[in-house]
Chain A
């Protein structure tokens, strides 16, 4: 199974701060997907195909990476971005998710 390791586990960012969340895969993957989950809600597709923003996702979000290292970047943190973000590898079964990064506001 491909293990996805997300870092940091938790982080706090100030409004306006740039945020970088990292996802590292135990083997090379073709591309990475990201999901946002807020407490009590279902996960939402946030970024797919490594860098494509899902519908309605603000353009302060971006995704990048290749091989075994991927990132989700927020150019300027906003309060509404408080959530847990999960990466997910698309293409090797079993499909796997990272353990998540909980993003808080400072």
Chain B
């Protein structure tokens, strides 16, 4: 069965960066785009961007350009997102999700807390 297993919660200082992972299993990793979605506490969902593992092609929400970097490791079927220059506004849960014209499978989420 399809699974997306994300890395654990992170506590990071303002101005620092954080890199999180999303390991896919149960399907051909290179056949589907992987999207990343932000959910701030108690709020709605924001699409950050997506990456196509086969080619490394990416598309971003303009709001997150310069903030998020998306990469993949095809050998381990793992997608990564790095967030840079963190502020309190980046404290949120971040989900990876398989994008099939709809988000059909979701990881369990990574809670990122930005605090000194």
Contacts and interface: CB of A to CB of B under 8 A. Distances in A.
A94 B103 contact: no
B63 to A, nearest CB: 7
B44 interface: yes
Interface stretch (B11-19, B67-75, B82-90, B104-112): B104-112
A48 B102 contact: yes
Interface residues of B, number: 21
Nearest to A43: B106
A75 B51 CA distance: 38
A51 interface: no
Interface of B: 35, 43-47, 59-63, 95, 101-109
Interface of A: 33, 35, 42-45, 48-49, 54, 86, 88, 90-91, 93-100
